[in-house]
Amino acid sequence: MLLSRRLQRYFLGSLITFGSIAFGVAPQLEAKPTLFSWQQQAIAQVTQAQINQYAEAYLIIYGDNGMTSLLAEVETLIGKKPSWGIRCDQPSSINRLNNRQAISQVRDYCNKTLPSLIDGVIPRSTFNSITNQLPNNPTLQTQVEDAMLNILKQRQGN
């Protein structure tokens, strides 16, 4: 009887867990957690408008601004090209540079330049959420790539 009760609890817990994942409900984890600040977030539900905004922001970030020159400067400062991705939403990726001047320049870019570029296009939380979903979601990758191509075609047409 005791084993039966345990199995029921296990299956109920598993059902709730898998149901939450299937419906896209998960706690939102923040870099600076506060007590009882969990929010529900739909992970896999990205609208076409958000995809278009993400594509526009991505093109702004990696297009006409100083991202390329920043990365070249970081490479010069640390003496090699970083073997990992430097991401503003992952402070550990910045700290791994192990060069105060490089870290300072990247943080300045992340905290001042980048927000001024994308804040008018897409909320940073949405941008980060989509960025985090891309590696595991080939459909979303294709949608973002298509949106970027459409934006570039529109720019060439004008």
Length of the chain as a residue count: 158
What pLDDT digit, counting tens, does each position of 127-152 carry?
889 988 999 999 999 999 999 999 98
The reply to whether 52 and 122 lie within a common domain is yes
pLDDT at position 118 is 85
Phi, psi values for residue 60, rounded to 5°: -65, -45
pLDDT at position 15 is 38
pLDDT at position 64 is 64
pLDDT at position 65 is 59
What pLDDT digit, counting tens, does each position of 101-113 carry?
999 999 998 888 8
The reply to whether 55 and 130 lie within a common domain is yes
pLDDT band at residue 11 under the 50/70/90 scheme: very low
The answer to whether the pTM exceeds 0.85 is no
Range of the domain at 37: 1-45
The reply to whether 1 and 51 lie within a common domain is no
| Token couple for 79 | 């003496």
User: In 4-90, where do the E strands start and end?
Assistant: 25-27, 40-42
pLDDT at position 6 is 56
The reply to whether 79 and 137 lie within a common domain is yes
C-alpha 145/C-alpha 63 separation (Å) is 15
Phi, psi values for residue 42, rounded to 5°: -80, 115
The reply to whether 145 and 109 lie within a common domain is yes
3-state secondary structure 97-121: CCCHHHHHHHHHHHHHHHHHHHCCC
- The total domain count for the chain is 2
